[in-house]
Amino acid sequence: MSDVPMQRGLATRPRTGWGWFVALGVVMILLGVFAWFDVVAVTLAGTIFIGAALLVGGVLQVAHAFMDRGWGGFVLQVVAGVLYAIAGLLIMGEPVRGAVVVTIVLAVVMIVAGIARIVMALRHWHMGGSGLLLLGGLISAIVGIALYFTLPWSGLWVLGTLIAIELIFHGAAWFEFGLALRRVQ
């Protein structure tokens, strides 16, 4: 009976060795640190990537609309695809303005999500965790408001900073996972 969990654990192990995860983690951490030193360049690169993704998505949506005309909503799909493509071209053509627009969207989302969390916490104050939910909502709303009121400057560093933080924390997670995998092998 005790062999069954061990067999399941072996079946779910990754095929690559633990060293690959550690190496991936180190590379991602280094990329994150590198990104941290030039968040403006990373912001612009990230914005261009978002524009390219919108362009490709728009072209594919228009192509799909023509491939499946009888499905319904043909005109709406074509219009949406064209708008995506135009937005992508505009963002790639003006990455600084695109970064500001992305920051505005992020600020609005943070403000709205923060307010929603605050309302939820106050409505369910009698339940556990409401204090943390309220604190998280306040922080989200305050950060969103701060981002909005520091525009256009915040538009130049926000996306790059978020990318750098993501790379560092994701790299640290892969690094730790690799070391944990080493201990169980």
Report how far residue 20's alpha carbon sits from residue 31's, in angstroms, rounded to the nearest whole number: 16
Query: Rounded to whole angstroms, how far apart are CA atoms 180 and 126?
Result: 40
- Residues 18-39, mean pLDDT to the nearest whole number: 93
Average pLDDT over residues 102-120: 94
Taking the model in full, what pTM does it have?
0.71
- DSSP states of 102-114 as a string? HHHHHHHHHHHHH
The residue to which tokens 């319904």 are assigned = 72
Q: Domain ranges in the chain?
A: 19-175
pLDDT per residue over 133-145, tens digit each?
A: 899 999 999 999 9
